[in-house]
């Protein structure tokens, strides 16, 4: 899945509206819209001067469709734009590259902690050994990923396939 930090509002709405999403716990359409708004507001960090954000995803995230083609095309266009931001390094591990580690779930490394998001909860890991292990896993994924213009070309190729 595309990381929430770079999701468009339309893509986030589709993801959050899935049967396994917040609606399964009784969230209303208005509550889902509030969640979408929160995701979009969190993206301000992408534009903060002096901040560096590194994101890595598997190529499968570019192909799995949530909602109509237009939603996915808009999401892919957003990724290509974000990849060009000065403080953002966007990586995509292509299908042709063997995954060096098997990420069982999304995880976020920040401020000496690891945040793991699941369907029902978030888990925060603060132990130095655990954080170091996730740091090594992230570095292995990052090393295998296409970044910069190479990542943008991959994203644009997938978007062109969707448009045709």
The residues spanned by each domain of the chain are 50-163
Q: How do strand 122-125 and strand 113-117 relate by DSSP bridges? A: antiparallel
Beta strands in 39-158 (DSSP E): 53-58, 88-93, 107-110, 113-117, 122-125
Q: Which residues pair with 89 in a beta bridge?
A: 54
CA 107/CA 114 separation, integer angstroms: 7
Domain 50-163 grouped into CATH 2.60.40: no
Contact 115, 53 (CB under 8 A): no
pLDDT number for residue 103: 67
pLDDT for position 79: 97
The owner of tokens 């509002």 is 9
Residue 144 CA from chain centroid, whole number: 16
Q: Per residue in 36-64, pLDDT tens? A: 999 999 999 999 999 999 999 999 999 99
Taking the model in full, what pTM does it have? 0.88
Whole-number pLDDT of residue 119: 65
Range 135-164 average pLDDT: 95
3-state SS class at 2: coil
Name the token pair of 153: 């070309």
């Amino acid at each position: 899945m595309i990381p929430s930090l770079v999701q468009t509002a339309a893509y986030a709405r589709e993801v959050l509206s899935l049967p396994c999403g917040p609606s399964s716990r009784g969230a209303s359409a208005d509550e889902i819209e509030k969640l979408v708004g929160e995701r979009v507001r969190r993206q301000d960090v992408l534009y903060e001067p002096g901040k560096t954000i590194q994101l890595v995803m598997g190529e499968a995230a570019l192909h799995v469709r949530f909602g109509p083609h237009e939603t996915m095309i808009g999401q892919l266009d957003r990724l290509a734009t974000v990849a060009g931001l000065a403080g953002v390094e966007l990586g995509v591990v292509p299908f042709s590259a063997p995954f060096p580690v098997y990420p069982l779930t999304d995880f976020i490394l920040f401020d000496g902690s690891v945040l793991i998001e699941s369907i029902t909860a978030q888990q925060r890991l603060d132990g130095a050994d655990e954080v170091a292990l996730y740091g090594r896993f992230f570095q292995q994924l990052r090393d295998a990923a296409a970044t910069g213009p190479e990542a943008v070309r991959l994203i644009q190729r997938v978007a062109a396939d969707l448009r045709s």
